[in-house]
Amino acid sequence: MTAEQFIIDDRENNLFRVNREAFTSEEVLQRERKEIFDKTWLYVGHESEIPGKNDFQTRDVGGRPVIFNRDRHGDVRVLLNTCLHRGSSVCRHSSGNAKIFTCFYHGWAYRNSGELVNVPGNEDYKSEPAAVYKGLQSPAQVDSYRGLYFVNFDPDAPDLLTFLGEARYFIDLAADQSPEGVAILEGTHKYSLKANWKLLVENSIDGYHAKSVHHTYFEMMMELGATPPMLGKETVNGVAPAGMGTEFPNGHATLMYPANGLPLATDSVKQTLANLRAQAEQTFGENYATAMFGLARNSVFFPSLILIDLSFGLTLRTFYPVSPSETLVTGWQIIPKGVDEEFVKYRINNALTFWGPAGLATPDDVEALEQAQKGFGARGEVGWSDVSKGMGKPVPAANDELQMRSWWREWNRRITGQQLPTEGTSFVPFDKQDVDA
């Protein structure tokens, strides 16, 4: 395929189209594995998930099994979960606390800092395996930002802070919601859908589908007397009621709009949020606190880390392809540290009933995406998808599609080498913090 076959970026007519072959081709998936998942910063976990020495979580990141852990000295590590002997996992548990990881196949054992420390039948080797193989391997680069750990399997890739760029301020808006920081709630949502992973990228930053796919949620809010998002009247930090989309370098993008209501929150939960906002105002100023608590945001950090803050919950999601038509999703809820039990229960309830695989929103999204994937069976006759909404507007709204086009241009650059210009300037709706200080 030539570069032009994947993307049509027609600035004269404000048309942006994506070749549906990108959603169905095994060849495209293999190129994505090589050019994206082997070379891009990928989220692996949050430091709060491994608070103590010897704590660990196992994950699949970009097609690799990894152990995300603290060693016996408290240092955070990411180890590839594959025995140097014959490849089996050295840790088969999803989480726990262990000083030693042992391969169940032949019993090779490794310290949680990676060193190979025991080989059954070691005396039968002329060259001792520990001297030859040293220990478990790690990704070429491991780094963190505000407690979020990322890996990159490319030793030559730009550093994490450079990769995140200005988009990292949207991580700050989550990380600063409590003076004590934030933590991941125990418990993980894991599910799969029969659709290409890029459809979920689009869906996660797609304000256009909200009223049609999630109309039940909107009706529920109206019945409870709450104003649905995007239907209010107030402009917040320069963000109009209709919201806006903005793009950043490297394929990161955000849509934001004045915050959702809190229809099911108790007075205690509302007071806790008010206290957090007051503390943020005192520390960072009113402008930053208003952006933090007065705006809702859906952000994508290329390629597939999603951070969604809808006032009634803050969720983190990442996903990876199994095949061109199947995607595995993992989701977590983030909570400000120091909040009371009632607030935690409120957030857990929203995590289950709204974002969960059996919740109010996710099943509708999954149905829509699986229908789209099924529709791509007619790509011989209908070969292109349209992502043009709002193209050419000086300030695209939240329900326009600038954020998707931004992501697709970065995808296209990595897959084809074709560099396409951005549509406008990035916008951060608050006074920037000097995060390098």
Every domain of the chain and the residues it spans: 42-144, 166-432
pLDDT tier for residue 139 given thresholds of 50, 70 and 90: very high
**Is the separation of the CB atoms in 398 and 244 below 8 Å?**
yes
pLDDT at 427 (0 to 100)? 86
Count of positions (residues) in the chain: 437
**Is the separation of the CB atoms in 268 and 181 below 8 Å?**
no
Which segments within 164-220 are labelled E, that is strand? 182-184, 189-193
pLDDT at 228 (0 to 100)? 65
Which has the closest alpha carbon to 137: 73, 74, 70, 64? 64
- What residue has token string 């949620």? 217
Examine the pLDDT at 286 and tell me if it is beyond 70: yes
Give the 3-state secondary structure of residue 425: coil
**CB neighbours of 425 closer than 8 A, spacing ≥ 6?**
none
The encoded tokens of residue 320 equal 């990876």
Within 10 angstroms of residue 292's Cβ, the number of other Cβ atoms is: 23
The span from the CA of 170 to the CA of 257, in Å, is: 14
pLDDT tier for residue 434 given thresholds of 50, 70 and 90: low
**Is the separation of the CB atoms in 214 and 412 below 8 Å?**
no
φ, ψ dihedrals at 17, nearest 5°? -135, 150
Percentage of the chain beyond pLDDT 70 is 96
The span from the CA of 437 to the CA of 231, in Å, is: 39
Burial class (CB in 10 A: 0-12, 13-18, 19+), 90: buried
pLDDT at 310 (0 to 100)? 86
CATH 3.90.380.10 for domain 166-432, yes or no, is yes
Q: Which CATH superfamily is domain 42-144 in?
A: Rieske [2Fe-2S] iron-sulphur domain (2.102.10.10)
**Alpha-carbon torsion (254, 258, 259, 264), positive or negative:** negative
Distinct helix (H) and strand (E) counts, the chain = 12, 21
- What residue has token string 């919201």? 243
CA 32 remoteness from chain centre: 17
pTM of the model: 0.94
Examine the pLDDT at 1 and tell me if it is beyond 70: no
pLDDT at 436 (0 to 100)? 47
**Is the separation of the CB atoms in 261 and 272 below 8 Å?**
no
Examine the pLDDT at 51 and tell me if it is beyond 80: yes
Within 10 angstroms of residue 406's Cβ, the number of other Cβ atoms is: 28
pLDDT in tens, 55-67: 999 999 999 999 9
Q: Which range (79-93, 216-230, 316-330, 362-376) has the least confidence? A: 216-230
Question: What is the average pLDDT across 415-427?
Answer: 91
Q: Comparing 355 with 402, which gets the higher pLDDT?
A: 402
Containing 28, the helix (H) or strand (E) segment is: helix 26-32
The span from the CA of 204 to the CA of 252, in Å, is: 12
Mean of the per-residue pLDDT values of the chain: 92
pLDDT in tens, 181-229: 999 999 899 999 999 999 999 999 998 888 787 877 777 777 777 666 6
The span from the CA of 423 to the CA of 285, in Å, is: 31
pLDDT at 230 (0 to 100)? 65
